Chains A and B, each alone.
Chain A
Amino acid sequence: MPVATMLGREIHVDEEGFLTDPSEWDEELAKQLATNIGLELTDRHFEAIRFAREDQAAQGETPTLRRMQTVGGFPTKELFGLFPKKPAKKLSYVAGLQKPVGCV
């Protein structure tokens, strides 16, 4: 597994750059991750990120956009505004989670 260095720390990531260990994440790192993909985080971004992390910790998997909407109360349309073009991937990347399972 590749190791990236961010904020002077060693961060374990997968081939696409997603964190592999959610415990290496904190909100400071989230801001750095956001900068990597050209985003600036607002309070609303953090609300979505916190829900995604809590839900992942409880369910064992990254919430889908559908779940973000139905359970978390974050309308898909709004998530497209917060995380343009690829909200599911960008949200999970910034939240230090694996991207939602790509079903085959």
Chain B
Amino acid sequence: MGIAERPFTGRRLLVLGAGTAGTMVVNKLRPRLSRDEWEITIVDQSEEHHYQPGYLFVPFGAYRPDEIVKPRRRLIDRGVRQVTGTIDRVDTDARVAHLEDGTALPYDQLVVATGTHPNPDETPGLGEPDAKERGVHSFYTLADATALRDALERFDGGRLVVNLIDLPIKCPVAPLEFAFLAEAWLRERGLREQTELTYVTPLDGAFTKPLAARELGGMFDERGIGLEADFMLERIDLDEKMLVSYDEREVPFDLLVTVPLNMGAPYVGRSGLGDDLDHVKVDKHTFLADGHDDVFALGDAANLPTSKAGSVAHFAVDVFVDNFLRHIEGLPMQESFDGHANCFIESGDGKAMLLDFNYDTEPLLGSFPLPEIGPLKLLGESEFNHWGKLAFRWIYWHVLLPGRPLPLSTSMSMLGKQRPGEPAPATDRDPQEVVL
């Protein structure tokens, strides 16, 4: 009540969601906007901030749950007003966000940063209350990752199936990493020989992009991980314990680790801002929501055709901040986001590989130059990459969220990348021919 009525004569920036993107954006903007002219408010339904990349390691006991959770309040600049509540809808005509508890938050500029979330209820079988007891698990929430840790503790061999139901998902490499880490973990436990490990995906290979799919496919072969591609899941049969596809293929499991359909926050759809999956439709270079000049979406909440990942949110926020400062002065936005993504892939046995790509350039082999630290190997495994990934948790809390600069270019660079030489030039193939 009182919040909305507090007298304030300046302009209001309202940020919905205090995850990676929302936290970074308020922490970067607060020092650059005068407190007399701009009030900044951030809303989140949770008092906690989770380091989501850590979920992947919880099932293997590598992180305890308390190592990846911090109170939200301390992570946000003290000059930013924090509101706890669930968003009901945004009235973009009246420029007001309504919370479920009745609070109304007016704004002059709105940033939607409420992410994307697993929706098990969208898949028959997955949303059943006893799914976990029947061996159906996931690791996309802390509660799920912790339950999976307990299930792995009890696992004594059989059919372990790793699956993603549909794209887009946040951290699209996470299910691959899970498969690699599980394979190494099974070997350590002496369970590898009595376990059949299968990766089931709706994609036509291990990954979307050709070169990465080829490299990753090779890593599956080396590790004896089966690949079941083009698998469009229709339902999970909990009685027979198997995945059933629309074209009636069946994959039985003893333990299933799946990634539920990811969707944006429900209020996005109710507010007329969303696509079919409640991700905000935005300009992919400026993040301005379609049909609005006072609504932006950042991070996983936006329907950008690139990875939904913290690295993308980080690069996107850098572009956004400079653009936003111009936009509120009535000037054209000059910076253009290129879709830059940068992802470590844990490959097991203390090694990791690194992907670096954007809207136009697929992940390539080579090395990734990192000032003062040295080059990281791209699309190949190394122990150094693994340590890079682990060090990232510290960087996340202490550099990224506070909005301090990282020595990484916002736009993707071709420095160190090898252009693919091996695939046959496209012009060699007969244009009449189609491979489907």
Q: List residues of chain A with CB under 8 Å of any chain B CB.
A: 2-6, 13, 15-18, 36-37, 64-67, 70-71, 76-77, 80, 84-86, 89-90, 93, 101-104
Contacts and interface: CB of A to CB of B under 8 A. Distances in A.
Contacts of A80: 232, 246-247
6 contacts: A2-B427, A4-B432, A15-B426, A86-B204, A93-B434, A103-B172
A102 B204 CA distance: 10
A89 B432 contact: no
Interface of B is mostly: loop
Contact of B431 (A4, A76, A89, A93): A4
Contacts of B427: 2
Interface of B: 166-168, 172, 203-204, 207-209, 230, 232, 234, 246-247, 276-277, 305-307, 341, 357, 426-427, 429, 431-436
Contacts of B341: 104
B433 A17 contact: yes
Nearest to B245: A80
Given A2-B427, A84-B247, A104-B307, A36 B172 contact: no
Contacts, number: 69
A102 B208 contact: yes
A101 B303 CA distance: 11
Nearest to B426: A15
Given A71-B276, A101-B305, A17 B435 contact: yes
Nearest to B246: A80
Most chain A CB neighbours (cut-off 10 Å) among B209, B277, B433: B433
A77 B234 contact: yes
Nearest to A80: B246
Contact of A104 (B172, B204, B277, B429): B172
A104 B305 CA distance: 8
A70 B276 contact: yes
Nearest to A88: B232
A2 B167 contact: no
A53 B326 CA distance: 38
Contacts of B230: 85-86
A103 B306 CA distance: 6
Given A64-B276, A104-B306, A89 B167 contact: no
Nearest to A89: B436
A88 B248 CA distance: 17
